[in-house]
């Protein structure tokens, strides 16, 4: 199965007094991986998609399992695959590992919308092809 892989850095400001990444920060990391996916795999900066093309992919559902805490200095690898490719919805699976140890297992569903107004729209064909390339089960 093909996947998009990126690496993140856990910085000092990302951890709480217990020395681990505070759980809402995981959502920031997921979004960082999402933006990298657009930039490096899809070939379109998410920023330009929003501002120039007026297309967005807001989050509509999330499931996150926290398996092992992330700590300051960790450099998690994030593996992203596509689990669903609907007319307007997109299911993405994010797996965070440190030294091959599973840390975070997240499933996110986003929906393609026109901006402004947030009206659902079909995922553009050129985008669809890039997500098909990282579909799970292939």
The residues assigned a catalytic role are 16
Residues paired with residue 105 on neighbouring β-strands, in sequence order:
65, 95
Closest to 57 measured CA to CA, from 78, 86, 14: 86
- Report the largest interatomic distance among the alpha carbons of the chain, rounded to a whole angstrom: 46
Q: Residue 9 in 3-state DSSP?
A: coil
Q: Residue 17 in 3-state DSSP?
A: coil
């Amino acid at each position: 199965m093909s996947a998009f892989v990126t690496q993140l850095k856990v910085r000092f400001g990302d951890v709480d007094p217990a020395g681990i990444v505070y759980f809402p920060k995981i959502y920031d990391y997921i979004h960082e991986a999402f933006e990298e996916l657009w930039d490096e795999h899809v070939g379109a900066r998410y920023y330009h998609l929003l501002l120039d093309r007026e297309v967005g992919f807001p989050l509509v559902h999330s499931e996150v399992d926290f398996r092992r805490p992330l700590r300051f200095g960790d450099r998690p690898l994030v593996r992203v695959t596509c689990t669903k490719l609907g007319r307007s919805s997109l299911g993405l699976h994010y797996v965070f590992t440190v030294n091959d140890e599973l840390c975070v297992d997240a499933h996110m569903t986003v929906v393609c919308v026109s901006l402004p107004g947030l009206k659902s729209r079909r995922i553009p064909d050129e985008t669809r092809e890039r997500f098909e390339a990282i579909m799970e089960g292939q």
